[in-house]
Structure 1
Amino acid sequence: MKKFIWGLLFLAAALSAVQSQSKYCSNEKCPTFYKQVGSNCVYVSIKTKLNWQGARETCHSIDGELLTLPDANSLREINLHLQVLGVSKDNFWIGANDMKREGSWHWIKDKSDVLMGIPLWGMNPGGSPVNEPQGKEKQNCGALDNYYGGHMNDRECHLQYFFICEYVGK
């Protein structure tokens, strides 16, 4: 009888631990295709490269939008995630652009302004110390750029890159 009671107590404790752990499991918080990264549910495309608009449309097809990075912590979290995935040497489209007005960068998810300069934007690692974005009218789409150590860069929107979506719901 004691073994039975101890067995039930052990089972109850194990179930309690599993239930409390599942509250924080990323698969519980994020829908299919997405993984928890910081406070966001993100999908990282590592098999298909698309232009910026194609990447955005693909995000929409899975109830997402291209990723917003409001601050340095968000950038750090996504770059750590890319390192874990083994794809930190690639470029990724994210949800910033200055298509409406040159030099006025905003996030497409909520139309908020993109924080300019360091820490989000890359700085030319060679030669003169020039901060991105510097592509003028030709480069209107934001990407995380391996040349800049995973910081943001402005790129021509027709280029083919992997991309990162964040879940926004239906």
Structure 2
Amino acid sequence: MKKCLWGLVFLALALSGVRSQSKYCGNEKCPTFYKEVGSNCVYVSTKTELNWQEARETCHSIDGELLTLPDANSLREITLHLQVLGVFGNEFWIGANDKEREGSWRWIKDQSDVPMGTPFWGYNLGSHQPQGKDKQNCGILDDGFGGVMNDMECHAELFFICEYVGK
């Protein structure tokens, strides 16, 4: 640990003006709290259940945002990671919502469109999720339903997944 700390001090002095490396040690890609999953650094909360807004604020407190799943590979990688962690079968808040306009699902990280249909959203009762209309405006990763997205009432208390975005 001392070796890493001194290395960080030296690195900080040598690279003054470059983004602080104080949360890293050695060749690690991800800062404290986060694990590398595919091309992202993610934090999976499995101890504390919060509502969607509280989960988002918690992610912000560790320089993150609720998870974005821009493509099928990202969805597959995080689902496999949850299986490795042994938390398969839970529901997790992610960074999707349609709070501004019903049915217009956006990622909060960059306001891009959330992919619809297969393989992202679950299929139930003859049609794809989201089906919650104006009562369910926040997105979840429903690992118990096969690792697909679903919509949920934002005040429900669930685990959550953050991705590192920096300061």
- Sort the TM-score into its range (normalised by shorter chain): 0.7 to 0.9
SS of equivalent residue, structure 2 residue 28: helix
**Which of the pair is proportionally richer in helix?**
1
Matched residue, 2:164: 167
Q: Deviations over 1:114-133 (max 9, x none)?
A: 00111111111xxx322000
Mark the runs of 5 or more structure 2 residues left unpaired by the alignment.
1-24
Matched residue, 1:109: 109
Q: Deviations over 1:127-169 (max 9, x none)?
A: x322000100000000011342120000000001000000000
Cα gap change, 1:130 to 1:27, in 2 (>3 Å): farther
Cα gap change, 1:108 to 1:27, in 2 (>3 Å): farther
- Which one has the largest radius of gyration? 1
Mark the runs of 5 or more structure 1 residues left unpaired by the alignment.
1-24
Q: 1:1-170 residue pairs with structure 2 within 5 A?
A: 28-124=28-124, 128-170=125-167
Q: Following the alignment from structure 1 to structure 2, what is the Cα–Cα distance between the partners of residues 41 and 152? A: 20
Q: Following the alignment from structure 1 to structure 2, what is the Cα–Cα distance between the partners of residues 110 and 146? A: 24
SS of equivalent residue, structure 1 residue 134: coil
Cα gap change, 1:144 to 1:26, in 2 (>3 Å): farther
Q: Aligned-residue CA RMSD in angstroms? A: 1.5
- For 1:144, the aligned partner's letter is L
Name segments (4+ residues, structure 1) moved above 3 Å: none
Contact 1:26 1:36 in 2 (8 A): no
Q: Following the alignment from structure 1 to structure 2, what is the Cα–Cα distance between the partners of residues 146 and 110? A: 24
TM-score, structure 1 normalization: 0.81
**Matched residues, number:** 143
